[in-house]
Structure 1
Amino acid sequence: MEQGNLPGQPAGANPAEAVVVEQPKANDDINPDGHVGTEELEKTDRVLVQQLGEYSEQGNKCCCCCNNYEGENEFEITDRFGHQIFHAKEESGFCGRQCCNSLRGFEMFLSDRQGKDCIKISRPTRFDNCLICPCLLQSMVVESPIGVVVGKVEQKLTLFSPEYEVLDADDTPVFNIEGPSTCKCCSCGCCCGGSRNIVFKIISKTNNEQVGSISKSWNGVLKDVLPKADRFSVDFPPDIDIGMKASLLAATFLIDYLHFEADPGDENQDDNDYGNN
């Protein structure tokens, strides 16, 4: 007796040949490196960068007989809903931190919830004495995945307002980051009619229009608890790749170190000493 075909099979087809032996493989092009953090960063349009208070300079003073001890910074990067994307850890030399303070060179690794290092940020030590070495401006190199350069951040030489340039892997300028004026004409942000937040505008090189921002939140309410723990929000420009998002994160760290990294022992530093926008 001839075996009948299964429903939906053409006449004469062998049912054994229709059995699926090998399961379909996942599309590796979606997340080729297998990094959860990279995938989540690619999907979000805004992240929050919070310095971890227990690892901040203030906390490290309790662990050292030297009151001016400068420790390695650590940060938590979350999406707008507080969902952790990365944990960032500075790796730097002891002498560099104590002698160079905010100008110190370091490597920073951003790891996801699985503990995998997704992004590496390298910053060389460069002194920026405006009279002796005005050309030694600050810079950062960004790798994602580690070993593949995806972008750079370069400080620009300006007189009053800080500016930075973000370049892609081919050293093509993509964004300018423009900060507020550093003038100290008043001690209260309310006097200028502005908010207490300090905003660095992300300007597109293509049309010279603002497409995003890096904002430092006023921490006056939390100063008694976390006097050195800074908090930033980064609003990414639309339709940019993971390399540019990682580079803008690097720019956020550079801004923090250069403008908000207080000298050890300086407990009276206030955000308004920098300026408000």
Structure 2
Amino acid sequence: MASRNRQSMIQWMQTPGIIPNCPPGLEYLTQINQLLVCQRFDLLEVLGCFATSKKYEVMNNQGHRIYYAEERSNCFLRYLCGPSRPFTMTIYDNVGRDVITMHRTLRSSCCWRNCYVQKLLSLDEEIVLGKISKKWAGFMRELFTNADKFGIQFPLDLDVKIKALMLGASFLIDYMYFEHWP
């Protein structure tokens, strides 16, 4: 019942019209210059150290949902490999249509670098094309959950394919640097 009430309270960004030469579902990205990616809190992970598949809400700067993302992975591999596990992340629009699908293979955990801000620079490294940064979620949430928040900023006129690439990169950054093994 609580989840049904939550679903009815969610405001989706208004669906833009058809935009020439824009891949279907990415029309939303033509109208924004930043995204907020919020991992859904999962009580099962906190209470029982149960590794669940990750779910995310992608919102604009006004708090309207643009996309919903969901991990598909093997339960056994979530335990065995933790954040290094292989997975498929599917990003859906407001009508449930697959907009972006990304696949991640099994990753080696040899890299211990911890970068909080990732920048996408132009070839001459003079122009910042975008920035992905982790947002502080609060002491208790950071201590007891893996429910992270990321801000993504880019120029309004940046190609939507690059914006989509940055959205996908935010999920990988979360798994690589901020997911903790139960």
Per the normalisation by structure 2, the TM-score is 0.78
Structure 2 CA distance, aligned partners of 1:73 and 1:214?
Answer: 19
Partner of 2:38: 50
Partner of 2:149: 231
What do you get for the CA RMSD once the two structures are aligned?
2.7
Q: 2:35 is aligned with what amino acid?
A: V
Give the Å deviation of 1:201: 2.5
Give the Å deviation of 1:248: 0.7
Q: Secondary structure at the match of 1:42?
A: helix
Partner of 2:20: 29
Larger Rg belongs to: 1
Structure 2 CA distance, aligned partners of 1:217 and 1:45?
Answer: 17
Structure 2 CA distance, aligned partners of 1:243 and 1:213?
Answer: 15
Q: 1:43 is aligned with what amino acid?
A: Q
Partner of 1:248: 166
Partner of 2:93: 112
Q: 1:212 aligns with which of 123, 127, 130?
A: 130
Partner of 1:20: none
Bigger shift: residues 227-236 or 201-210: 201-210
Whether 1:41 and 2:26 are equivalent positions in the alignment is no
Structure with more relative contact order (C-alpha pairs < 8 Å, separation 6 or more): 2
1:211/1:238 contact within 8 Å kept: no
1:103/1:258 contact within 8 Å kept: yes
Give structure 2 stretches of 5+ with no counterpart.
1-16
Structure 2 CA distance, aligned partners of 1:199 and 1:32?
Answer: 28
Per the normalisation by structure 1, the TM-score is 0.53
Higher share of residues assigned helix: 2
Structure 2 CA distance, aligned partners of 1:212 and 1:28?
Answer: 23
Give the Å deviation of 1:226: 7.0
Give structure 1 stretches of 5+ with no counterpart.
1-25, 131-159, 163-178, 180-197, 265-277
Structure 2 CA distance, aligned partners of 1:61 and 1:221?
Answer: 14
Structure 2 CA distance, aligned partners of 1:253 and 1:73?
Answer: 10
Partner of 2:61: 80
Give the Å deviation of 1:242: 1.8
Give the Å deviation of 1:207: 3.5
Give the number of equivalent residue pairs.
Answer: 166
Q: 1:125 is aligned with what amino acid?
A: L
Q: 1:79 is aligned with what amino acid?
A: N
Give CA deviations for 1:78-109 in whole Å, capped at 9, x if unaligned. Answer: 10001110000000111111111111111111
Structure 2 CA distance, aligned partners of 1:244 and 1:204?
Answer: 12
Structure 2 CA distance, aligned partners of 1:123 and 1:227?
Answer: 22
